[in-house]
Amino acid sequence: MPAITNPNASHIWDEAEVYIIAKSDLIAAGIDIESLVPESIEDELDIRWIEGFVGLLDPAKGIPVTPAIEIVHHDAFGRARFRSKAKKGTITTGFTAYEDNEVTKLFVLPGSRRGKVGAPKNMQFYVCYVARDEDIATRILISTMSALFELTSHAGIVEGEKEAYEVTVHHANDNDNDVFFLVDQDTAPGPKSVTFAGGPFTAGTFTLTVSGKTTAPIAFGATVAAIKTALELLSTVGSGNANVTGTVAAGLTVTVPGALSGNGAGLTPAGTITVA
């Protein structure tokens, strides 16, 4: 079978937003950052994020993501580089803000109090990045740990030019070496209802697709165990990562770690599959 491309898997981001919450504010409120991670891209961000909206961003600089890792090569007598090791992996992100507002004042040379301008200092924030590619994809990244904000460039006051504040965000790794909570189409949690329209079916097959990978044809009368097996054979699911209950006639409830869809054109009569 020839390779299949998926243009919608190539993201061309149209929108990006940055939200921040000061580490000290979460500590004072006794709130864990995980409680501020939305369950799906359909959920509204918590009001604490909204209050920390950074505002207009430089679109040309966007939100760079810079991974780095220390590579150590080991040599031996008579043999160069017989083994290499990687350690101290890190991720740095950033953004360039255009607005002089109450949020940017928190990290753009904040003084000791209102009416003061200070020198750069240690500033710790949790950050939430939201990116959208039309109606194709939405991606939300929320730092698992508070991050060090470094004001790396200040455009100053130039006639006819936008004043801009470039920030580098130095992320800390959590205990599992993770840096972000990720919320997107492929991470929406919870079971999905799979309904079949066009029946009653007398024969034929249907397929299910998880994050771009499609099962082999599944017989209309297959047991839930057989459907589960078909799903777990997908590289995007894996053994033990699918749960299926119900029947084709009454509808299935499917839980998989990814975006789920189905195709019932192979059923007799031809059917349609809806996932909700």
3-state secondary structure 143-180: ECCCEEEEEEEECCCCCCCCCCEEEEEECCCCCCCCCE
Output the pTM of the full model: 0.70
Are 198 and 66 in the same domain? Answer: no
| 151 pLDDT above the threshold of 50 | yes
Band of the pLDDT at 188, cuts 50, 70, 90? Answer: low
Of 130, 165, 184, the last residue of a domain is 184
Give me the mean pLDDT over the 166-172 stretch. 98
Assess if residue 2 is contained within a domain. no
| 44 pLDDT above the threshold of 70 | yes
Are 198 and 212 in the same domain? Answer: yes
Give residue 88's domain range.
7-184
Q: CA-to-CA distance for 23 and 129, rounded, in angstroms?
A: 16
Of 142, 159, 184, the last residue of a domain is 184
In the three-class reduction of DSSP (H, G, I as helix; E, B as strand; rest coil), residue 27 is classed as helix
170 closest CA partner among 135, 190, 145: 145
Assess if residue 34 is contained within a domain. yes
Tell how many helices (H) and how many strands (E) occur in the chain. Answer: 3, 17
Assess if residue 1 is contained within a domain. no
Higher local confidence (pLDDT), 249 or 98: 98
Are 167 and 215 in the same domain? Answer: no
Are 177 and 108 in the same domain? Answer: yes
Number of domains the chain contains: 2
Q: What are phi and psi of 163, to 5 degrees?
A: -80, 130
Band of the pLDDT at 184, cuts 50, 70, 90? Answer: confident
